[in-house]
Structure 1
């Protein structure tokens, strides 16, 4: 696909605006696609979405990688897409996003430093917004996010956080179990956290059989965000969504007990291998020590939701050991049984669910819960029950992006009404992450 850089796409936008909003498809506007999640949102065609896509971005390798990914989707043999990219390239790209009528969509996935600015600018110009996480990485960004939600509400727009984990079948099964008192009981508040989650990631790893290339800014926490401002967004969202389904959670319903952070040290050679750059960027040179840079990617947050204690921990290593990968563990402490989610060497790095009770009543009650999930079953193990979710019952993480986008578009088109708790819970989630970064830095 040849790069058709244009200084103006006014004619295309003018023709689009003449059409009736009721008759025309939604048009996607992609701003500064600096993360590979931007292209994942276009991995498949989206119903009711125009094949013409407007892209506004600075010149650079990140734009090239995004366009290369789209070209790959368009030219693959199996179910190719037919996206056509109308591109504006320049340092003033954001100012060239025209005003809209509230019909079309801005999609964001890239450098996080300006993301809250992009969100606010987009809703002020009357666009619905689907944003990759994190929507804010510091308190200033959180204040902009609050304003953005107010503007979106006033203009009757949809502002939506790209929370893919809600579409994982295992997370849905856990949600059903912890809300079933006959199996789980109630959350145990007295003996440590009611819910604890630990997520371990790696800077250098393979995705789809290829080494994942990181942009240089990924190693700058002022642009990417600290670990406790990034990965924890998914974890906190799961706690809200699984443990308090349908409930609005305001900032005065949570309290942050403590927060901590510490760095992963990345050598010049590791940085070069990951980014393709020969040396650290100038903005990283100032923190370099003995040929390495500290990346504040690790940390923990202890907080309460409606007095329920929760603990989050995130860790970033350089690269996984041979045969291993990212790991995850979550424990939901109930008065009758604990629910444990493991993704580590013991499960061959496949996420799995266990219940710390092998009694017949628990097993029978669990079978009733699992009836809504064809192919999923419970099996006795040593002193626990494992929920077997065959691979054919699972949807890939990449396909979750399309599922989120489809749900978002239903809200945009008015086919469904976005729940009121989405706004309050999203703002509270980012209040926790950004305030925790501030606390950890004291």
Structure 2
């Protein structure tokens, strides 16, 4: 660590500045917690058991604050080899190649090895979700900052351990944060911005279970392309005891966006959530489909429980209807095997206001690209249009180039320049940059930790309800 090379007086200065500014720390924390100042290479990443391509996407670009040497601890096998292959692809690409140096340890004691050697100060994990909560808790216990892919927990039984990890992180002065990429998707950002303008949106409706005030729906695909190449998924991805069911996996993003948009920067509590109903259903995969996406000709033993005449039944789909501070919300996720040619994962969202609805659609009409619409039922359309055009003109100061296009007398769409449509993979870098700044600040925003707890409470309680 670079601070080891700095004089005692400078260390004392920085410690005093941190204690007096960004956070209060106990004497034990002052001795054990490394300081982050934004200096070059001061963040040293340890990647733990990377079984999902999201771990590599954190390293798709370089960061001045992050040391190029990354320490990988994992069991031997296809997961870690696939991760290293992706990093090598980034290092050798013709345009803007990265310069990561991966130092790899593989062995059955990989977790214990990382905790004992501790060559880094930030642990990144994306992989087998059944193990993730344990990885997070043990890393926090060791005084290591954690940047974790979603979901951080997949079962109601494990949820208290995640709560414990957050409590311990506060005590030790380390930051535990999950990778919420969808906050950086431009149509979602603008949907949120417009919902904060009462002259356009009014107030968020209360809604009903049948007609929620806010709905988020996501369609994903098992077979897809990542960084221009077919994605090979590990077999355990299709075991919901390891990956998690749909209502605790992708819905993490959807619940997060509902909290982030409907109650921006409001500190939430578990008591604000009431799960009304939930359901789950399977995506069926043939042996041919399974081989195409995993490269395996046979099902492993742990998937035998999910077979019906050689067809694999994966409980990857789900829906949760709930209220958050009395507002009715619905999240749902669907996994298909493969998207039609020219399409991909899609997202639908609607926020129902007292003056208009803000709708994100991504269907054929939109060329399978997210498009934000504004639709009103106001009687005085001329007055509403005036408020709307003024609002978009104001937003254009923050997002230059956005324009409004009339679709019908009561409906408009927001035209967004391509420069803002950076894509899902780029969002991982944006989240990482934000996390690096939080390390320098020495804290997360006050509402982030309580709201992460509420988010995972919602998904795990949703699973309980769906299993009833």
> Match for residue 392 of structure 1?
419
Write the deviation string for residues 328-350 of structure 1: whole angstroms up to 9, x where unpaired.
21111111001110011110000
Q: Kindly state the Cα deviation for residue 31 of structure 1 after the two structures are TM-superposed.
A: 0.1
Counterpart-to-counterpart distance in 2, 1:441 and 1:387: 40
In the alignment, is the contact (CA less than 8 A) between 1:183 and 1:365 conserved in 2?
A: no
**Given the superposition, is the C-alpha separation of residues 209 and 79 from structure 1 closer, same or farther in structure 2, using an over 3 Å criterion?**
closer
The equivalent residue for 1:8 is none
Counterpart in the other structure of 2:103? 86
Instruction: Kindly report which structure 2 residues correspond to 1:4-83, keeping only aligned pairs within 5 A, or say none.
Output: 19=5, 25-83=42-100
After TM superposition, the runs of 4+ consecutive aligned structure 1 residues lying more than 4 A away are: 15-24, 99-103
1:201 to 217, 220, 225: 220
Following superposition of structure 1 onto structure 2, how do residues 274-313 of structure 1 map, counting pairs within 5 Å?
274-313=293-332
Equivalent pair of 1:380/1:386 in contact (CA under 8 Å): yes
2:14 alignment partner in structure 1? none
Q: What is the rounded CA distance, in whole Å, between the counterparts of 1:74 and 1:384 in structure 2?
A: 46
Range with bigger deviation, 187-196 or 420-429? 187-196
Q: Match of 1:109?
A: 126
Rounded to whole Å, the distance in 1 between the matches of 2:225 and 2:114 is: 35
Q: 1:246 aligns with which of 265, 274, 299?
A: 265
**Residue number in structure 2 paired with 1:126:** 143
Q: CA deviation at 1:190?
A: 4.1
| Residue 422 of structure 1: aligned partner | 448
Q: Give the corresponding residue for 1:6.
A: none
Q: 1:370 aligns with which of 377, 395, 413?
A: 395
- Displacement of 1:393 in angstroms is 2.6
RMSD of aligned Cα (Å): 1.9
Distance, in Å, in 1 between the alignment partners of 2:2 and 2:313 is 48
C-alpha separation between the residues in 2 aligned to 1:392 and 1:125?
Answer: 41
* Structure 2 counterpart of 1:381: 407
**TM-score in terms of structure 2 length:** 0.87
- Is 1:222 aligned to residue 249 of structure 2? no
Taking the aligned partners of 1:234 and 1:212, their CA distance within structure 2 comes to 21
Partner of 1:349: 368
Q: Deviations over 1:62-89 (max 9, x none)?
A: 1111111111222222222221111111
1:64-121 per-position Cα deviation (integer Å, ceiling 9, x unaligned): 1111111122222222222111111101100011358998100011111100000001
Aligned with 1:408 (options 435, 456, 459): 435
Q: In structure 1, list runs of 5 or more residues that go unmatched.
A: 1-14
Paired residues of 1:179 and 1:243 also in contact (CA < 8 A): no
Distance across 1 between alignment mates of 2:5 and 2:250: 41
- CA, structure 1 residues 16+266, in 2 after alignment: closer, same or farther (shift >3 Å)? farther
Contact 2:306 2:314 in 1 (8 A): no
**Equivalent position to 2:351, from 311, 332, 336:** 332
- 1:191-221 Cα deviation digits (max 9, x unpaired): 5210011111111223343222111001000
CA distance in 2, matches of 1:129, 1:299: 28
What CA distance in whole angstroms lies between the structure 1 residues aligned with 2:74 and 2:3?
A: 22
Q: Which has the higher helix share?
A: 2
State the 1:47 CA deviation.
2.1
Moved more, 99-108 or 262-271: 99-108
Per-residue deviation, residues 155-214 of structure 1 (Å, max 9, x unmatched): 011000100111122211111111110000011224521001111111122334322211
Q: Report deviation, 1:16.
A: 7.8
Do residues 97 (structure 1) and 152 (structure 2) align?
no
User: Which residue of 1 is the match for residue 182 of structure 2?
Assistant: 165
- 1:375 and 1:393 in contact (8 A); partners too: no
* Rounded Cα–Cα distance in structure 1 between residues aligned with 2:90 and 2:337: 30
Contact 1:196 1:310 in 2 (8 A): yes
For residue 271 of structure 1, the aligned residue among 276, 282, 290 is: 290
Distance 1:183 1:172 in 2: 16
Distance 1:342 1:390 in 2: 17
Point out where structure 2 has 5 or more consecutive residues left out of the alignment.
7-33
Deviations 1:130-177 (A, max 9, x none): 000000000122111101001100001100010011112221111111
**How far has the Cα of 1:32 moved from its partner?**
0.2
CA distance in 1, matches of 2:291, 2:62: 35
Partners of 1:305 and 1:35 in 2: CA distance: 31
